[in-house]
Every structure is written in structure tokens, then in C-alpha cells.
């Protein structure tokens, strides 16, 4: 299918390329061409004649790469606004784990579709999803058109290294939209024997490794009591980071851990809203950047956030950086937008989804600039990070398919049916 997006401002997120007036051409699931209006006009007859299957006048609004939610638990939508106001350990053990045990794989399929609606209406074009039934998450994302990287969730109570190896080999060939990475829930939910078994898989496949890490002070102190060292250094000593990967949260990383993770090319995915809501703390993003770490952004699940809104996360990453540093400067808007797009794609292994260039995936969003919160245009990137919101998302395209346009969903199901199904699941499980 040949698609033309024209009369647009274009932000490709390519290094050294500024926003320009131009258009993007798409062939099937990839970008075929990006060019300025001047380049297209000057090339004239030299450009190939293309019969367009679909053309969209962007009305002078901004085309940019979709946002990458680099840490989420989509199936947790049934717990949205259910167990608010609790610290992490109590929240997990008393409210989350007991109710998750009642979920069926079919429930998680429906709950994931609800999350996909929230993702695409908010400009998210790829997710890194860690949850209980990878097969039905993969099916839900394939059926709705969502690009999804699945993360292993092995722990002492869920799945096993043997299951994860089977999922790794199968789901990495399931569908072009789906891929899979090795991972555990966290050091504190896994026995040493289990961690060493997962390490064997990492080395068998020579694959990157992912997990929750240093989310709370309690987690860090408990690990030091058990092992004599911090969680990051314990997992490094086992050998799990030899092929890179990523960690989620990293709120209480030591300087030694930051240095080690950077050396191993391990990304850190910060989740500011969830960390604030659960009183876990504020991640030292500026210090991580100084250490050379690749920082990405995620929402975490709807149970601890309660939204799956990357615009809100971007704002918090920047302003909380100023609080953490004590100088009010925050993390630069341009750096934050890189975290939510380019860095996120790299953190989860989507090298063809980091920018809008020929040959990359056609994972594109259209931002409405004709709204009060986007005016005046002193700095469009700052506008996106500091004042932008889901209401500015006019279109979300993934793999050349428009899944959301002007408030309408194209995800293979009536939204009201998804709402009804998910409310029935929540009522059945939560009473």
C-alpha cells in the first residue's frame, strides 16, 4: 500500500536534522521517502510517479516518530484505580498478586486490547510489555496492530526458564509486529538457583537481559542483607548483563551500578509517575546521563500509574530532574523527547523504529499544532514535552496502518465492546 502524508511539519529525530516543512511517503510497512517541500519541488519530474492508495493532508501539523513505552504491564488495566494509596510491597502482596492469580489468558487478551486503545490515542507506537501470558498479549497486539516487544517475567511463582526459552524461540517468529526478550521480574522475587538458570539462557542465546531493579530503598537493603551487595552488582556478578539489556526504574542505583550498567550498554527505563505514586522515589536521571547511560521512559502498569500516558511521563522526567539536581534546570526537553522515541527504540531492540528515515518502520504520529497549548511556537519540542498531551494526537500509524485518526479507532473491534468486556472482568475478579 502506498501512502502519502503531505502539507506537514516533519520532525524525523535524526541527529542534526531540524524540523522542516515537507512530506513522508510510505510503502507497505516502511518509510520510502522523507523530503522538504523545496526538495520535492526541485526534483519534480525526476521523482517516481506513484499511484497513491491513500493521501492525508496534515494541515501544517507535526509528523514525528511514535512514542515508545519502554516498560508497561498492559494486562493490569483491570486494577486501574483499585488499590491506590499503598506502598509498593503492600500493594503487590495484598492487592496485586492475589487478584492477578484469578486472571485467565482470555482476560489478559481483553485487558491488553483496552491498553492498546490508550496507547494509540496517546501517540504510543511500540510497547515493552512484561506480563503473565505472553501468548495472549502477542495475539492481542497482532489483532489490534500494536507493535509489541514482550519481556520474560520469570520468578519463583510465575513461568520458568524452560517456558521462557520456548517463548523466546517461538514468539520471535510469531508476527512482524511481535518480538521477545529474556527477563526476570526482579532479584527479590527469584531464588539464586532460578537466576543462575536464566543466566544460562542469556549465554546460550547471547541475548540481552531485562528486569526490575532498585525500585525501592527496601529492595536494595534487603538484597545487601542477602548477598552483601546491591541488586545491580549482584546480577552483574552472575553474568546476566554480558550482552546488554535494560533495567526498569533504577530509582536507587549507586554510582558503581550506573558505571557498570553504562559499560555493559544496559539501558535504564525510568517510570516517574509510578515511582511517585508508590512513594518509591525519584530516579537520578541527570546523574545517569552523566554516566553515559541510555535512558528510556515507560509508564509501568495502569495499576500503579494510573494512566498509560507518555506525555505525562515526559513532563515529569524533565521537571523532576530539576528537583533532583536542586537547581530547577531539569532535563532538557530535547533530551527527554529522545528518551521517549530514539532511546526507547534502542533500549527494547527496535532499531528500525527510532526515527523517520527511509527504510525505517512507518510508525508515525501526527501532533495537532493548532491548539492553544502548542502556541506560540517559540520551541516546538519544548511545547511537546512541557505542554503537550494526548489531546494533541490526531493520528497514530504503526507499520503503515492508521490505528487512530481524529478520535476514531481502527483496531479490529468496537471500542464499546472492549469497554464492556473489561468492566465485566474487573467486576468478576474485584467484586
What is the per-residue pLDDT for 383? 98
Give 64-90 pLDDT, tens digit per residue: 999 999 999 999 999 999 989 888 888
Burial class, 314, CB count within 10 angstroms (exposed 0-12 / middle 13-18 / buried 19+): buried
* Residues 15-39 as b or e (16 or more Cβ within 10 Å = b): eeeeebebbbbbbebebbbbbeeee
Strand bridging mode 54-57 / 266-270: unpaired
Question: What's the whole-model pTM score?
Answer: 0.97
Give 143-196 pLDDT, tens digit per residue: 999 999 999 999 999 999 999 999 999 999 999 999 999 999 999 999 999 999
Partner residues linked to 8 by β-bridges: 22
pLDDT at 41 over 90: no
104: nearest Cα among 82, 143, 133, 73 = 133
Mean pLDDT, range 199-203, rounded to an integer: 98
> Measuring CA to CA, how many Å separate 143 from each of 109, 413, 425?
10, 9, 20
Give me the residue label for grid cell 491506590. 84
Give 274-299 pLDDT, tens digit per residue: 999 999 999 999 999 999 999 999 99
pLDDT at 49 over 90: no
pLDDT at 428 over 80: yes
Q: Cβ contacts of residue 8 below 8 Å, gap of 6+? A: 21, 22, 23, 24, 58, 60, 61, 62, 63, 366
Least confident of 47-56, 248-257, 303-312: 47-56
CATH numbers and ranges of domains, the chain: 2-65+358-409 (2.30.40.10), 67-350 (3.20.20.140)
160: nearest Cα among 106, 187, 197 = 197
* Residues 267-287 as b or e (16 or more Cβ within 10 Å = b): bbbbbbbbbebbebbbbbbbe
Give 207-229 pLDDT, tens digit per residue: 999 999 999 999 999 999 999 99
Amino acid at each position: 500500500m502506498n501512502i502519502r502524508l503531505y502539507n506537514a511539519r516533519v520532525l524525523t529525530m535524526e541527529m542534526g536534522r531540524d524540523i522542516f516543512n515537507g512530506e513522508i511517503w510510505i510503502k507497505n510497512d516502511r518509510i520510502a521517502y522523507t523530503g522538504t517541500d523545496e526538495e520535492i519541488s526541485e526534483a519534480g519530474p525526476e521523482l517516481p510517479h506513484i499511484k497513491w492508495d491513500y493521501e492525508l493532508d496534515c494541515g501544517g501539523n507535526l509528523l514525528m516518530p511514535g512514542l515508545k513505552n519502554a516498560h508497561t504491564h498492559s494486562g493490569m488495566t483491570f486494577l486501574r484505580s483499585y488499590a491506590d494509596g499503598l506502598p509498593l510491597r503492600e500493594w503487590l502482596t495484598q492487592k496485586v498478586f492475589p487478584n492477578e492469580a484469578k486472571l485467565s489468558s482470555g482476560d489478559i487478551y481483553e485487558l491488553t486490547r483496552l491498553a492498546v486503545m490508550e496507547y494509540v490515542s496517546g501517540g504510543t507506537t511500540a510497547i515493552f510489555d512484561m506480563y503473565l501470558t505472553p501468548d495472549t498479549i502477542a495475539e492481542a497486539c497482532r489483532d489490534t496492530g500494536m507493535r509489541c516487544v514482550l519481556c520474560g517475567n520469570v520468578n519463583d511463582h510465575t513461568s520458568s526458564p524452560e517456558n521462557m526459552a520456548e517463548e523466546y524461540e517461538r514468539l520471535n517468529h510469531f508476527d512482524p509486529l511481535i518480538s521477545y526478550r529474556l527477563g526476570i521480574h526482579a532479584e527479590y522475587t527469584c531464588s539464586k538457583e532460578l537466576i543462575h538458570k536464566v543466566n544460562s539462557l542469556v549465554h546460550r542465546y547471547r541475548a540481552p537481559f531485562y528486569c526490575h531493579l532498585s525500585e525501592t530503598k527496601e529492595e536494595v537493603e534487603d538484597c545487601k542483607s542477602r548477598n552483601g551487595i546491591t541488586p545491580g552488582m549482584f546480577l552483574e556478578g552472575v553474568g546476566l548483563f554480558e550482552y546488554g539489556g535494560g533495567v526498569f526504574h533504577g530509582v536507587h542505583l549507586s554510582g558503581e551500578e550506573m558505571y557498570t550498567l553504562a559499560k555493559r550498554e544496559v539501558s535504564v527505563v525510568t517510570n516517574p509517575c509510578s515511582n511517585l505514586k508508590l512513594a518509591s522515589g525519584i530516579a537520578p536521571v541527570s546523574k545517569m546521563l552523566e554516566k553515559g547511560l541510555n535512558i528510556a521512559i515507560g509508564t509501568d502498569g495502569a495499576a500503579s500509574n494510573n494512566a498509560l500516558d507518555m506525555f505525562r511521563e515526559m513532563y515529569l522526567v524533565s521537571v523532576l530532574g530539576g528537583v533532583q539536581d536542586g537547581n530547577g534546570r531539569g532535563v532538557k526537553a530535547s533530551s527527554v523527547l529522545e528518551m521517549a522515541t530514539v532511546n526507547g527504540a534502542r533500549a527494547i531492540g527496535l532499531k528500525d523504529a527510532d526515527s523517520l528515515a527511509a527504510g525505517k518502520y512507518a510508525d508515525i504520529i501526527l501532533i495537532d499544532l493548532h491548539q492553544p497549548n502548542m502556541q506560540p511556537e517559540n520551541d516546538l519540542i519544548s511545547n511537546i514535552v512541557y505542554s503537550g498531551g494526548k489531546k494533541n494526537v490526531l493520528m497514530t500509524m504503526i507499520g503503515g496502518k492508521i490505528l487512530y485518526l481524529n478520535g476514531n479507532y481502527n483496531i479490529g473491534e468496537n471500542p464499546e465492546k472492549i469497554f464492556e468486556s473489561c468492566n465485566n472482568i474487573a467486576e468478576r475478579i474485584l467484586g
